[in-house]
Structure formats: C-alpha cells, structure tokens
Amino acid sequence: MLFLRSTSSSIAPGIFAVDVAAKPPGKTFGIYIAVDADYPPQDLLGAIEGLGFKKTVVSPYIHNDGRKVIDFHFQKAGTDIFQGWKESEREENLRALQTLFTPLKIELKPRVMTTTEAFS
C-alpha cells in the first residue's frame, strides 16, 4: 500500500500517488498507484495493462480522512533470469511508462526499494 498523507489533493484526476519501484537489485520495476475508488482513471489503468503489465494487487481501503482509495500494483515479466528485465527491456518499459504519464503531468522517478520495504 502506498503511504498517503492526505487525499485532499490529487496529482492528476483520480490519482493520489504513483510509484515506480524495483526490488533489489533493481532490474525489474513495478508500478504502484493509489486512485480514487469513486472515480478511478480507467483509461490509464487499461493503458498500463496495454503495455503488458499485469495487476498483481488490487487493495481497496478507506483513508483516515474518509475517502475511498484503491491501491493497484502492476508487474511485467521480462526475458531475463527469473522473468527479470534485461537492460533493453528496462529502458523500453520505463520510457513507455513515462510517455503514458507525461500527458497527466506526472514525472516518474523510478527507484530501488530498500530491502526492508521490498520484503516486508
């Protein structure tokens, strides 16, 4: 679940938070997105799946300020060992994601999770 401080403002219509992160060693990235449960950005969610990412988690909850939120986690298998991404796949996938989010004025900042964060 993404940590939301507040749902009083969104970063784009229906979107509260987006994180693009990889578990160590940082080759294969997932997309973590928290959306407004009442007005989810269906076109964006469908476009992410259109890039080959699969939903692995759909977790609805009520934020402490009372608003309904849905956390989505998406992963995409690669062709490297253990379905990881090769360098070319990483570059291509991250570029495609940024192209998808740019019209929403969301700049993605891919990162590698800490070991604790990744495996808790």
* pLDDT tens, residue order, the chain (120 aa): 566 667 777 899 999 999 999 988 888 999 999 999 999 999 999 999 999 999 999 999 998 888 999 999 999 999 999 899 999 999 999 999 999 999 999 999 999 999 888 887
Q: Which of 30, 84, 94, 77 is nearest to 57 (CA)?
A: 30
Beta bridge partners of 70: 35, 60
The pTM of the full predicted model, rounded to 2 decimals, is 0.91
Task: Write the CA distances from 88 to 33, 39, 43, 83, 98, integer angstroms.
Answer: 24, 35, 27, 14, 16
Beta bridge partners of 74: 31, 55
- Please state the length of the chain: 120
User: Which stretch of DSSP H or E encloses residue 4?
Assistant: none
8 Å CB contact between 15 and 52: no
